[in-house]
Structure 1
Amino acid sequence: MIRVLIADDEPMIRAGVRAVLAVDPGLDVIAEAGNGRDAVELARRHLPDVAVLDIRMPGTDGLQAAAEIRRLAPQTGVVMLTTFGEDDYILQALGGGVAGFLIKSGEPEELIAGVRAVAAGAAYLSPVVAARVVAHLASTGAGVLGARRADAKAKVAALTARERQVLGLLKEGQSNAAIGRSLRVAEGTVKAHVSSILARLGVENRAAAAVVAHEAGADSFA
């Protein structure tokens, strides 16, 4: 059973998230919070497998709450719920250990998939979120975007063929265990590949690696 904490300052959003997760009998919402401060305390007390946080809440926002949860309950994976227009927050969260990003208006199946992926130790970026991040980076100017894409392509091209396969599956939100099954290798081998990929891409977590993969483009994995 995957134990989930929900935090959002809007009761209707919390109710909606709870209702979606209740469809999956393998997910159990063990606590809810209406602000980031309470979310941190509940995470410390209950040690959930996954915390689903609104990225913007009054007082202690989702970014601050995520950082505190990662510090006090490092075994808890964090999924961030966002809306359009919060791209700066998403970019900040990428550097703070957040493993999943979902749009509030997305499909219910994405929420379940994201929670399950993060609980399994994977990263999960909603395709809409990934597109928004890349588009936001593009707003810095065509020259900067071109340089970023060229840099991402070069970094991905420098990986071994096996590492590119692993990164391609990581980008899709697969866990180490799922990647191992897909490639028919031991999970420990996948973990070693992921560690090497993060180091060679110069990123700190799987979600940031997924962004690099999206920037590089699908042809980098052909």
Structure 2
Amino acid sequence: MSHATDAPPDPWPPRHLVLRTPRLELRPDDDAGLDELVAVGYRGVHPPEQMPFHVPWTDADPRYLGRGMLQHFWQQRSVLAPENWALHFLVRVEGRVVGVQTIRADDFARRRTVASGSWIGREVQGRGIGTEMRTAVLTFAFDHLGATRATSAAFADNRASLRVSDKLGYRRTGTTTVVRRGEPAEEVQVAVTPDEFVRPDWTVTVDGYPACAGLLGAAPPA
């Protein structure tokens, strides 16, 4: 009688993935962290007269806002596959969740392009955290996944997001008109390549990546 000696592969390798910067720790979403993120959402993400998101989720009835947030992230996690994926990194400062930094891709194995989006609570805005967390995922995308292009977008009146893009070397590639709260609004599209990326004078460390490579449509590390 033969016996299997090899342990089965981890069914969910992203649980071990972590990006670290001087101030931040970024890990893909888990249920305990999402509860913290919901609390951040309730405390406020933007002034009520503004809307930085395509989907105006912050306008939801407060009775259902938290449930809607959890269902969104659960749904995204449940359909993650090499052909189409989104990693929602919960961003922590001193162990406390302050926001989320998303990186996503369609057919990454052939297109080698990622897109990003993010938000943080108003209580920590204006401290450079948005720049630091996007730097982390760009470094991960270019240096570990092997991406050749990263894109992002922001409404023209979202100056904070566009400043982050400018600082990191993105170039503007066009604009489009999006309906926001029932009114037309201009969206600015940006992109950056590894050569254009303005790297920081500090290091991003990445742990737990090799096991995730196949799930993200990326070649395993040599």
Compute the TM-score of the two structures, normalised by the length of structure 2.
0.31
Bigger Rg, which one: 2
* Greater helix share, structure number: 1
TM-score for the superposition, normalised by structure 1: 0.31
